[in-house]
Amino acid sequence: MPRTALLVSAALLTAVLSPTASHAADDPPPTPVDRFEGEVPFASQPAEGIFTWGGDTDDPPALSLAARPDAPEGEKVLTGSYDISGYGGFTHDYAATAPAHDWSAHKGIRFWWDGRDNGRKIAVEIKDGGANGEASELWTTSFTDDFTGWKQVEIPFSDFIYRTDYQPVGGIDHVLGLTQMWGYAVTLPAGAKGTFAMDDVELYGKADQSLRASVTTGPAVHPVKEGGTASVEVTVATTGSAPTDEPVTVTYETAATGTATPGKDYTPVSGTLTFPAGTASGTSRTIKVPTLRDRTAESAETIPLKLTVTGAKAPTETPQIVIDAHGLPYLDSRLPVRKRVADLLSRMSLAEKAGQMTQAERGAVGSGSDIATYDLGSLLSGGGSTPTPNTPGAWAKMIDDFQLRARATRFQIPLIYGVDAVHGHNNLVGATIMPHNIGIGATRDPRLARRTGAVTAAEVRATGIPWDFAPCLCVSRDERWGRSYESFGEDPALVQSMETIIQGLQGRANGGDLGRNDKVLATAKHFVGDGGTEYGSSTTGTYKIDQGVTKVTRQQLEAVHLAPFRTAVDRGIGTVMPSYSSLDIVGDGRGAVKMHARADMINGVLKDRMGFDGFVVSDWNAIDQLPGDYASHVRTSVNAGLDMMMVPSTYKDFTTTLTDEVKAGRISEERVDDAVSRILTQKFRLGLFEHPYADTTGAAKIGSPAHRAVARQAAAESQVLLKNSGGLLPLRKNQKVYVAGSNADDIGNQTGGWTVTWQGSSGNITPGTTILDGMRRGGGDITYSKDASAPLTGYDVGVVVVGETPYAEGVGDVGNGHDLRLSAADQAAVDKVCAAMKCAVLIVSGRPQLVGDRLGKIDALVASWLPGTEGDGVADVLYGRRPFTGQLPVTWPRSEAQLPINVGDTSYDPQFPYGWGLTTLTGVPKGGASMLRALAAAATVAEKKGADETGRRLVTKARLIVQHRVGQKITPAVAKPFADADHLLTTGRYGAAVRELLEAYRAV
């Protein structure tokens, strides 16, 4: 996530000083950084300068150097105005072409601020180490504008903390060295218009060892087996890494305030460690605490180690030694899971149970001390919430550090960490990114879907994450929905056929493979009907359809939206996530009810009727959308069947409220016990009690050639050839090819939303091969001009790659800043190239784009969807190394006015029908109506014999005959039976499918 306002506020020393105030005799004179008299221009890297930035075009502030008679220093001050909706601020970077500056002789940084007394926080960052100001580590703090008029704000360097929500280069050494500084930045408050004035930024004071030296103890939790000796390493370090000027002493003693008993559970220790003046930064000493064996089965016990530090800052937390739980039945892996669950549940307090039902976001828990305080059962990473640096090792270390915190709880119940890995491990830079689900649906290849799930699971688990919030089993009925690309398609039968991905993620349906180091717990989402929301029904911000209302008959609900979840339960899905949307069942008299409140669907249908035995987890803050006060949100959702609540930053409120509701009798203890039993069952199945920490043996395979080969195949099979006049495709290597368009050479556009960040972004965001790269690597004679401005003569064929830029969820709803038309630049590129030569147009998008007005000028048209990181797969079909075999997973409309339009509709007149897809695999089979009748008879026999492969092959042959006859003469009389045939094929009714194709043939 880029610079945001999500900055941790640190304690800040402020003082009002006159500009001429004297400093201590031995202090170095202040060193100017910025006087704002014009000596530092408004400029950006690589030159020294001041520049603005923000989350969108409106967020950067407007700056100027203004003469002010009350300027604290000189004649001018920096002034500015802002109106920030996301994030915004300004930066002063030193010149990248000159050496970095050394600030280590000073105590801190200070500046004059013209207070508005508005109570708003202003974040201040300094830039340490790295190659330049935009490739350095960010260290941050903030101050509050709670004063009026000019005030000098002093910030000692000791107040700055390492920024955990964003680092431009992913972190360097996590040490504020101060010897290679590149400048500072100010993040202005968001949410309301404002103005500011600032003057005279300078370094002040003498570096004070008590501020720049610190004592650390490594992790805050030190587990040890009963009878073993705990070792706590005490380290002294200095800002700037210089030796200590003065001695540092650490007096320690084991405190009797923990749950362990001195003399019975451990031998008390005390003493003093001395680090003399001149001690090198990073020097360590070890404190050893012996524990005693008493041969009694016990829960975990804690021993706080009290430290008193002189000459340096003490650790931020008191280190705790934890004697591991031992001898209790739930720890015995030889027992059946149900017995282990029952034993553990019988020992837990209500507060501990409430903690297991709570899921917090990693950024909200900071260093993680609240994990033990609130007995938290789960953490997650929201989209784009990543460790720094964003590497497999950093992910594993982060999760291990969180798991270590859970060891300080009474029963040491491990966390279950979840992440949205919806098309590969998409939050991780360098992971293998698969095509989004709409592309997987286009492959019509269940075995390949399973393989993509297996690759995803292996890469996710290798970073220490055992739980994936995927797959999305929505049946997308309106392509105006910003999540339509997360669906396998518009036909529930197609979605059901692609649910082999669950076995790829989880393994066997009985959960027996979940303990493997290459499998994860999967999540069927979003229960139920999120793909059927009506356009204009959303009440979430500016969303148009996402999180809206699905209005259906009970029969439609069963046949369209519930069917994929029945299949998921049969396949052993481990968790289910309800939808943000509301469900309005015609005739039930309830109207639109949020799914997180529908006990009839969660308890009644999912758990009771379908027999789902996993646990149900809410969506992000979804209970906050329920009517009533917070207590009713909790009560309603838990009683409806929610077992775990995703409450990213409000986990304290949730655990307290849940506990209060149970004590008041408004939520039964039986309901809580059921929820916690379901959660614990999956933790035991995952093997987390035996192996809570990351198993990184598979990390070397992340982004490996073998994994990318699967993604490459998926990208190739997902390509749908909609038109191919004169057999323009596949291309030949000896052709001179002119490539243009916004999406030919953009890995960010090619991978779409949910890639590295929640919304995704254009540009070179993760390693991969663009479509242009793939064409060049394939040996083609390629000339590339993004906007088609290069000369257009002398080429055999043009390839124009156009489409959408990334979005996710309701942000991508049509009408919310998006539509289904190509951008003006893309339209111009298509027009230029297709007017000058034969052309193929590839549409890289999450949904169909309206191209009917240009279709006559286009010789070949390909729906490329969002193919992921492996553009080689697209090039494979363009150059004939693989055949085009993909079929439309959704109907391609003629106009937006037709939407929603779906297979099975009574009125059906699309540009291309559901299931359409030309092939270059083989020549078109010979024969006409008589051949189709013969194929229908043979397909009926295959259906009766259960010869599925033969049946599918016969239907495919018939489809190719019909497509060849139809060409581009797609009428309603052709489209409806053609689309219906593909639905029948997917449901195994092969004879009926060919008979529908025969009807389409006759209608031409």
Known catalytic residues are: 619, 809
> How far apart (Å, rounded) are the C-alpha atoms in residues 95 and 131?
11
Q: H or E element: which one contains 833? A: helix 824-836
> How far apart (Å, rounded) are the C-alpha atoms in residues 601 and 225?
46
- Residue the block writes with tokens 């106009």: 895
- DSSP-derived secondary structure for 668-682: -HHHHHHHHHHHHHH
- Calculate the CA 683 to chain-centre distance: 22
Q: How many other CB atoms are there within 10 angstroms of residue 263's CB atom?
A: 9
Q: For residue 179, what are its two tokens?
A: 């010897």
> How far apart (Å, rounded) are the C-alpha atoms in residues 181 and 200?
18
Enumerate residues 6+ apart whose C-beta is below 8 A from 923.
none
Helices (H), 165-275: 209-212
> 652: helix, coil or strand?
helix
> 702: helix, coil or strand?
coil
Query: Across 176-330, where does the E strand assignment appear?
Result: 181-187, 194-204, 213-216, 221-224, 229-238, 248-254, 270-275, 283-290, 301-310, 320-323
Query: Are the C-beta atoms of 543 and 810 separated by less than 8 Å?
Result: yes
> How far apart (Å, rounded) are the C-alpha atoms in residues 529 and 586?
14
Helices (H), 122-208: none
Query: Are the C-beta atoms of 506 and 459 separated by less than 8 Å?
Result: no
> How far apart (Å, rounded) are the C-alpha atoms in residues 549 and 650?
26
> How far apart (Å, rounded) are the C-alpha atoms in residues 673 and 265?
32
Rg (CA), the chain: 31
> How far apart (Å, rounded) are the C-alpha atoms in residues 613 and 569?
8
Query: Are the C-beta atoms of 573 and 523 separated by less than 8 Å?
Result: yes
- DSSP-derived secondary structure for 333-367: TTS-HHHHHHHHHHH--HHHHHHHTEEEETTTSTT
Pairing mode, if any, of strands 221-224 and 320-323?
Answer: parallel
Q: For residue 966, what are its two tokens?
A: 């139809």
> How far apart (Å, rounded) are the C-alpha atoms in residues 584 and 597?
12
978: left (phi over 0), alpha (psi -120 to 50) or beta: alpha
Length of the chain: 1004
> 476: helix, coil or strand?
coil
> How far apart (Å, rounded) are the C-alpha atoms in residues 851 and 527?
34
Residue 206 is which amino acid? K
Q: Give the dihedral of Cα atoms 719, 722, 728, 729; nearest 10 deg.
A: 20
Q: How far apart, in Å, do the first and last CA atoms of the chain sit?
A: 53
